[in-house]
A and B are shown apart, each in its own frame.
Chain A
Amino acid sequence: MAPVPSKLYSDDVSLLVVLLDTNPFFWSTASLPFSKFLSHVLAFLNSILLINQLNQVVVIATGCNSCNFIFDSSSVPANPNLENGRMPALCSNLLQKLEEFVTGDEKLSKEVLAAGIGSSLLSGSLSMALCYIQRVFRTGPLHPQPRILCLQGSPDGPEQYVAVMNAIFSAQRSMVPIDSCVIGAQHSAFLQQASYITGGVYLKPQQLDGLFQYLSTVFATDLHSRRFLQLPKPAGVDFRASCFCHKNTIDMGYICSVCLSIFCKHHKKCSTCGSVFGQAQSDGNSATDRKRKTPET
């Protein structure tokens, strides 16, 4: 559902939903310690709240087994007395919740020794963020401009592909840009597509100890200001498909009409969804014939 323009604040009020990767396996191998990372992020969140009094920040922790809200600036009682001297109430509040979340997440984990770093539940946290944004759209006379920032370290989880893509398209439909800041060693194909499709910024910082600088320079800009700024943008996304059978990039191929899997040669049965294909048209050289498939229902 597209936001109703009249419900927007005239000023650049943002609702920033931050998806925080809390994959313990990733953080135990990351070059940047989690504590350093947190201090960058907490400073960034504080600065967002300072930019505009009406700005709102929501933090969702993306774990291996669960996701949860760990911070919502709109529900925190603005009580400066709670400061414990070392850090503002905001931070201690968030850290408290985060600790609880990690404990909860651990309880859910099954003791299976994975070969590598497992992936975080990006699809889950994206969905939660979008649901939250939809709720904001539907309540109150005015709502801020929402955007999502993914702070992702762990590698993409191929098994979440469909769910993540669905979330991306739903964000695109609600006109919610997804910014991505990849902290891990590899690029994330998910987030690259997410940012490309929704019109957000995709960035993989080179200097991780300068993370705050990246965050405040690139990701702190509200949607209104982005129109006047030149933010880093990737050269483009290669949307060419590769076949499911050999992973070759192909220009022309066969597509399963049920599940849209792509194959470089004709199969009797779709390996992804099990649909049985009818007889292929006799080797005509027209491309339209090749695409035609009749699934079994």
Chain B
Amino acid sequence: MSGEVLKRARYKTSVKDSGVAGVLKMTEDKFVFMPNDPTSSARFDVEFRFIKGHKFSKGGSNKPALLNLTQDSEKGGGYIFEFENYPDREVCREFVGKALAKFSEASKAGSEQSAVKLFDEQLSTIEMERRIKLLREDRHSVPEEKFGVLLLKGILPLFGETIIAMKLIDSGIASKVKWDCSELQKLHKQFVLSGVLTEAEFWATRKKLLDGNTSRTSKQRVGFKSAMISDLKPLTDGRTNRVTFNLTPEIIHQIFAEKPAVHQAFLNFVPNKMTEKDFWNKYCRAEYLHCTRNTVAAAAEAAEDEELAVFLKHDDILASEARRKIRRVDPTLDMEADQGDDYMHLPDHGIFRDGSKEIIDPQYEQYRRTLSQDLNRHAAVVLEGRPIDVELEDTRTVAEALAKSKRVEAANEKSDGSVTRERLERISRMTEIEDLQAPRDLPFAALCIKDPRDYFDSQQANALKTLGDTLAGSKQIKCSLSSQEAYGSLRGFISEIKSVGLSDPIVKPDIALKVLNGLTQNISSTKFHLGKNPQESVLDRLPIITKEELLHHWTSIQELLRHFWSSYPITTTYLYTKASRLKDAMSQIYPKLQEIKESVQSDFRHQVSLLVQPMLQRRRETLKRRRRSEPQEGPGGERTMGSIGTDLAVMERILELVKPILEHSKTEQEADQDHHQNQARAQHAHLTSTAHPVRFPLVPGSRENCSPLCGLVKMGVLLAFSLSDLREVGWRRRV
């Protein structure tokens, strides 16, 4: 955010008021208005934190450029400024938007006061645009009108115009909306519309991401239009011989960029030799001659008027530039390869400007311009982009700015002498005759590996372990034979088969059956190795609906957790209620996971519970942390509780400490019970578990080893224990 903005503006108390002229100065945290008339009372100095939002008028030719900074709703009113022009207003508007965004962020972070007010927060437009953009970007396949309604639902409440939104919903349009869209929209729907999170809370965690996006997009510069200026046709009115050309600053800029000769001529002639109007007249005349394709006439005119000739002849600057470029082309490029293509002998590759053919006398060659030349030039300019950053209003400034940027470019190129050297090197390298060159010795040191056996040994142990072989079992078999005897016996085997021939039958039927059975068993048993192979996700084997549901629950849990942690430390009642809302939402996910588990076929049930396991663990950790943060506010404030998570005794000690606080917070108590529940469950599980590590490919970062049995037991226990049961368990332990 750049320091400050200073603009002329009129301060108005209402839109119709004529206003007081003065200067508006904005800095990062406040804005100051100083009227031109020192006696005027309309002088003020307001900090942005009192400003709740801003509105502005639509850009139009005759409407005034207004900016309205609205104050608190109860205080009413605001500050309306009228600017001299829209660009000024835009600058101020952006500045205000940033300042407000900063303040709303700051206020969200800490104070409860503003947090409560988040509900009726008036969003800045920029903010809202970002949200719309995010929802829009995220959607994949929602039809436009449906998306519109969706947007209304998502965005309208922000403006406090809930009534309209409600009407829309009532009218049944909204009921048609299918929220089958993206993750973000799903989450938005799930949490915001169900009231778990407020709109502001939902977006608060994504603000950073958005800011990054918008700042990047705003920096993008507009390039040239891809339409060619040759598309600009002279207009004739049919009755007189008058021909009209329309030149806009945009077109002039393009002409300058594409035709350096015109640009040069403009710089040379315009203020001294002729007026700008004359200059463009001449240019248009030349253009007209080109259009008529009357090269003879063009040549005649050029002979008379040397200034006109500039426009008609080939562009020398362009030509030299082209030559320079050609010099830089890779010397090994075979330009002749193209000559085999038949279209080369036709002018313009067989394409004619405006579809007509022209026959050219070689004498007037220099007055001819081909379409391909124009096309190429245009393409080059478009690709180069718009090098200058000035307003297009004044032709002279445009011309000068362009010239300046060209000079800089040329200077850069000249200073870059190494390019030429590199080019020469490349030529010599490419054209050399390999046989005659001395071997190029690159500086390298030979890799000398003393014993490649090490590589093998470091791998073998693991590899064999997975195959069920132990190194101890694979002791070397002693071979007592000398090599002579060994080879002899081998040859003996060969001659044996030579004399006996192939055994008949090759395989005995019962052995063949045994083998087949063995193979079949082997294949079906690989099913049970599922999940061990990190490259094969268990998820892929689940029915698609189940998979999606699981993933969705996973993202939901993560979203909830994100908000949960963002509200730490819980210092206020507002955060308490938020945290408990989140907790409730989280606990609703349990039965859903259970449902999924029950709905799948028995084949997959086991796998699903394996997948669900880490999610449950996730949650348990949350609850643990939640408890852990408590003692810090407790009267005895023990801060050295690093290893609480595992040590139940310490947990109980904290319980004692926190008890007075928990007394007046029901939700926290529940959390405790939940925690005990988890502890009890964990203990149960570990008693019955078998040490059989399984990997969870689903969740990156949570590859914990835990037994599948343990997972099932936990699930079972979780559902069997009601809260009251656990209260008992929990309290009894404490006693």
- Complex-state Cα separation, A39 to B506, whole angstroms: 7
Contacts of B460 in A (CB 8 A): 156, 158, 189
A259 part of interface (Cβ distance < 8 Å): yes
| A4 interfacial by beta-carbon distance below 8 Å | no
Quick one: which of B484-510 are within 8 Å of A by CB? 484-487, 489-491, 493-503, 506-508
* A109 vs B482: C-alpha distance when bound (angstroms): 11
A169 within 8 Å of B (CB atoms): no
Does B208 lie at the interface of the complex (its beta carbon under 8 Å from any beta carbon of A)? no
Please name 20 further chain A to chain B contacts, defined as beta carbons within 8 Å, in addition to the given A35-B500, A102-B491, A109-B483, sorted by A numbering: A24-B483, A27-B493, A28-B485, A34-B494, A38-B494, A39-B503, A42-B502, A86-B500, A113-B483, A116-B476, A117-B476, A192-B463, A193-B463, A214-B515, A235-B533, A236-B532, A238-B462, A247-B458, A247-B461, A273-B448
Q: Which of B456, B491, B514 contacts A156 (CB 8 A)?
A: B456
Contact stretch, chosen from B99-107, B118-126, B522-530: B522-530
- The answer, yes or no, to whether B459 is at the interface (CB within 8 Å) is yes
The interface stretch among A48-56, A143-151, A225-233 is: A225-233
Contact A185 B477, beta carbon cutoff 8 Å: yes
- Chain A residues with CB under 8 Å of B499's CB are 86
Query: Which chain A residue lies CB-closest to B526?
Result: A233
8 Å CB contacts to B: which residues of A1-56?
A: 22, 24-25, 27-29, 33-36, 38-40, 42-43
User: Contact string, B360-378, partner A, CB cutoff 8 A, digits 1/0?
Assistant: 0000000000000000000
Task: Give the Cβ gap from A127 to chain B, nearest Cβ, in Å.
Answer: 15
Contact of B479 with A by CB under 8 A = yes
Contact call B502/A34, Cβ cutoff below 8 A:
no
The answer to whether the Cβ of A114 comes within 8 Å of any Cβ in the partner chain is yes
Asked if B469 lies at the interface with its beta carbon under 8 angstroms from chain A, I say yes
Interface residues of B in 449-491 (CB under 8 A from A): 449-467, 469, 473-474, 476-479, 481-487, 489-491
CA distance A45 to B717 in the complex (A): 59
Residues of B within 8 A of A22 (CB): 490
The complex places the Cα of A34 from the Cα of B497 at a distance, in Å, of: 9
Q: Does A249 contact B (CB under 8 A)?
A: yes
> What chain A residues lie within 8 Å of B473 (beta carbons)?
186
The CB with the most chain B CB atoms within 10 A, among A35, A156, A209, is that of A35
| Distance in angstroms between the alpha carbons of A156 and B464 in the assembled complex | 12
B481 in contact with A244 (CB, 8 Å)? no
Closest to A44 in B: B506
Does A162 lie within 8 Å of B455, measured CB to CB?
yes
Say if the beta carbon of B77 comes within 8 Å of chain A: no
| B511: contacting residue among A155, A156, A209, A236, CB under 8 A | A209
Decide if A236 touches B534 in the complex (CB within 8 Å): yes
Partner of A213, one of B467, B511, B534, B535: B511
Cβ-defined contact, A189 with B459, below 8 A: yes
By a CB distance below 8 angstroms, the chain A residues around B507 are 40, 209-213
Instruction: Pick 25 A–B contacts, CB within 8 A, sort by A.
Output: A24-B490, A25-B479, A25-B483, A27-B489, A29-B479, A39-B497, A43-B502, A91-B502, A99-B495, A102-B491, A115-B476, A117-B477, A158-B456, A163-B452, A185-B474, A192-B463, A193-B463, A207-B518, A213-B511, A214-B519, A235-B532, A236-B535, A238-B465, A242-B458, A273-B449
Which A residues are in CB contact (< 8 Å) with B523? 230-232
Is A79 part of the binding interface, using a Cβ–Cβ cutoff of 8 Å? no
Residues of A within 8 A of B461 (CB): 242, 247, 249
B512 is an interface residue with CB less than 8 A from chain A: yes
> Per-residue 0/1 for A157-178: is the Cβ within 8 Å of any B Cβ (1 yes, 0 no)?
0111111010000000000000
B453–A102 CB distance below 8 A: no
A240–B465 alpha-carbon span in the complex (Å): 11
Tell me if A87 is interfacial: C-beta within 8 Å of chain B. yes
Interface residues of B (CB under 8 A from A): 445, 447-467, 469, 473-474, 476-479, 481-487, 489-491, 493-503, 506-508, 511-512, 514-516, 518-519, 522-523, 526, 529, 532-535
A205 and B482 within 8 A (CB): no
Interface: A121 (CB within 8 A): no
- Least CB distance, B460 to chain A, in whole angstroms: 4
Indicate whether A111 reaches chain B with its CB closer than 8 angstroms. Answer: yes
Q: Does A262 contact B (CB under 8 A)?
A: yes
Select from chain A the residue with minimum beta-carbon distance to B524. Answer: A230
Q: Contact between A236 and B445 (Cβ–Cβ < 8 Å)?
A: no
For window 104-134 of chain A, which residues contact chain B by CB distance below 8 Å?
Answer: 105-106, 109, 111-117
| 3 A-B pairs with the lowest CB-CB distances in the bound complex, closest first | A116-B476, A86-B501, A34-B493
Residue-wise, chain A 255-288 has the 8 Å CB interface mask toward B (1 for contact) of 0001101100000000111100000000000000
Residues of A contacting B456 in the complex (Cβ-Cβ under 8 angstroms): 156, 158-161, 189-190
Docked pose: A36 CA to B452 CA in angstroms: 35
- A35 and B497 within 8 A (CB): yes
Residues in chain A near residue B494, CB distance under 8 A? 34-35, 38, 95, 98-99, 102
CA distance A150 to B461 in the complex (A): 22
Contact A29 B457 (CB under 8 A): no
Give Cα A242 to B516, complex, Å: 37
For A273, the chain B residues whose CB sits under 8 A away are: 447-450
Q: What's the Cα separation between A109 and B488 when bound, in Å?
A: 13
Q: Say how far A153's CB is from chain B's closest CB, in angstroms.
A: 11
CA distance A262 to B461 in the complex (A): 14
Q: Which residues of B contact A204 (CB under 8 A)?
A: 467
The complex places the Cα of A15 from the Cα of B323 at a distance, in Å, of 56
CA A232 – CA B485 in complex, angstroms? 38
Hey, which chain B residues are within 8 Å of A163, CB to CB?
452
A81→B197 CA distance, assembly (Å): 88
List residues of A (185-230) whose CB comes within 8 Å of B's CBs.
185-187, 189-190, 192-193, 204-207, 209-214, 217-218, 230
Once the chains are docked, how many angstroms separate the CA of A51 from the CA of B255? 73
CA A62 to CA B533, docked complex, whole Å: 32
B506 touches A43 (CB 8 A): yes
Q: How far is the CB of B509 from chain A (nearest CB, A)?
A: 10
Give the nearest-CB partner of B466 in chain A.
A238
Query: Chain A residues near B455 (CB, 8 Å)?
Result: 158, 161-162, 165, 244, 261, 272
- Please measure, in the bound complex, the distance between the C-alpha atom of A221 and the C-alpha atom of B481, giving whole angstroms: 38
Residue of A nearest to B490 (CB): A24
CB-based contact B511/A210 at 8 Å: yes
Residue numbers in B under 8 Å from A187 (CB-CB):
463-464, 467, 469, 474
Docked Cα-Cα span, A236 to B537, in Å, equals 13
Q: Which residue of A is nearest B443, CB measured?
A: A297
- CB-based contact B448/A158 at 8 Å: no
* Chain A residue contacts of B486, Cβ below 8 A: 24-25, 27-28
* Residue from A28, A92, A192 within 8 A of B467 (CB atoms): A192
Are A106 and B487 within 8 A (Cβ)? yes
Which residues of A sit under 8 angstroms from B500, Cβ to Cβ?
35, 86
B452 cross-chain contacts in A, Cβ below 8 A: 158-163
A212 to B509, CA, bound (A): 11
In chain B, what residue has the closest Cβ to A47? B506
Per-residue CB proximity of A135-146 to B under 8 Å, as 1/0?
Answer: 000000000000
A187 to B526, CA, bound (A): 18
Judge whether A235 and B449 touch: CB under 8 Å: no
Tell whether, in the assembled complex, residue B489 and residue A24 are in contact, meaning their CB atoms are under 8 Å apart.
Answer: yes
CA distance A109 to B495 in the complex (A): 21
Asked if residues A240 and B512 are in contact (CB atoms below 8 Å), the reply is no
Question: Which residues of B lie under 8 Å from residue A259 when comparing CB positions?
Answer: 447, 449
Q: Give every chain A residue within 8 A of B515 (Cβ-Cβ).
A: 205, 207, 210, 213-214, 217
Cα distance, A242 to B508, chains bound together (Å): 44
Chain A, Cβ-Cβ closest to B522: A232
Contact between B498 and A95, CB atoms less than 8 A apart: yes
Q: Contact check: which of B453, B463, B497 meets A189 at CB < 8 Å?
A: B463
A205 to B491, CA, bound (A): 25
CA A228 to CA B18, docked complex, whole Å = 82
State A95–B518 Cα separation when bound (angstroms).
31
Contacts of B502 in A (CB 8 A): 39, 42-43, 86-87, 91
Contact of A206 among B451, B453, B518, B533 (CB under 8 A): B518
In the complex the two chains form, is B491's CB within 8 Å of A103's CB? yes
Q: Is A183 in contact with chain B by the CB < 8 A criterion?
A: no
Determine if A242 and B478 form an interchain contact, defined as CB atoms under 8 angstroms apart.
no
Residues of B within 8 A of A205 (CB): 515
